[in-house]
């Protein structure tokens, strides 16, 4: 019997992880995808694996995250890999010259994110961060930037940076509690201020 092929994006949806996470797992355990045209997706070429390979991926995610997979004794449990859990940050880009210009977003490496932003905004200051799941990022941005002027994708201007931080505190106070220390990969000497 021929093993039915599973589309990687469908498996990612089932496991509630990003496709990129699955491709990392595939590489780590030595599984090669097979590309095929999918009529139900406007004849796009999609990456597929066999159902037995999908089981191996589920087992690997369970092993490496220590989490239950959905539909296993707790229907509300969700698997999140290390790069799906991190911090939502608030960076003030030009504190001296344009104190209302700020950047918000998700990162798994706060120090690295600040270092990258300092390439284009050398005086940027890391103001605050909150434990966050990657899937919360868009909602968090929409919430904390309500009433702000959008300058770029995740860059905004406000009349009160304290009000933005207050909105973020309110947003994250109603989100599930989580231990962000499980996911942060710190390898930088550059300090940042973190308070949730």
For the chain, the distance separating the N- and C-terminal CA atoms, rounded to the nearest angstrom, is 54
Of 10-19, 89-98, 114-123, 167-176, the least confident: 10-19
Q: What is the pLDDT of residues 56-106, one digit of tens each?
A: 998 888 887 654 444 443 333 344 455 578 889 999 999 999 999 999 998
Q: Cα–chain-centroid distance for residue 130?
A: 13
Rounded to 5°, angle at Cα 87 from 85 and 92: 160
Q: What is the pLDDT of residues 107-135, one digit of tens each?
A: 877 777 788 878 888 999 999 999 999 88
Strands 149-150 and 44-50: unpaired
pTM of the model: 0.54
Strands of the chain, DSSP E? 5-7, 34-38, 44-50, 85-94, 98-107, 125-133, 149-150, 155-157
CB 4 within 8 A of CB 48: no
Give the mean model confidence (pLDDT) for residues 139-159: 94
SS3 76: coil
């Amino acid at each position: 019997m021929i093993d039915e092929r599973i589309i990687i994006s469908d498996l990612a949806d089932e496991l509630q992880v990003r496709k990129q996470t699955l491709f990392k797992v595939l590489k780590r355990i030595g599984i090669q995808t097979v590309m095929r045209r999918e009529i139900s997706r406007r004849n796009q070429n999609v990456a597929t694996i066999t159902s037995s390979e999908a089981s191996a991926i589920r087992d690997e995610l369970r092993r490496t995250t220590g989490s239950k997979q959905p539909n296993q004794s707790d229907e509300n449990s969700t698997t999140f890999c290390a790069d799906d859990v991190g911090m939502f940050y608030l960076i003030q880009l030009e504190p001296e010259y344009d104190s209302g210009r700020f950047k918000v977003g998700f990162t798994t490496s706060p120090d690295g994110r600040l270092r990258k932003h300092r390439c284009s905004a050398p005086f940027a200051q890391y103001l605050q961060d909150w434990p966050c799941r990657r899937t919360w990022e868009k909602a968090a941005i929409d919430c904390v930037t309500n009433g702000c002027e959008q300058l770029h994708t995740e860059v905004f201007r406000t009349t009160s940076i304290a009000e933005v931080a207050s909105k973020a505190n309110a947003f994250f106070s109603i989100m599930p509690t989580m231990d962000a220390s499980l996911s942060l990969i710190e390898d930088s000497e550059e300090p940042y201020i973190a308070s949730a």
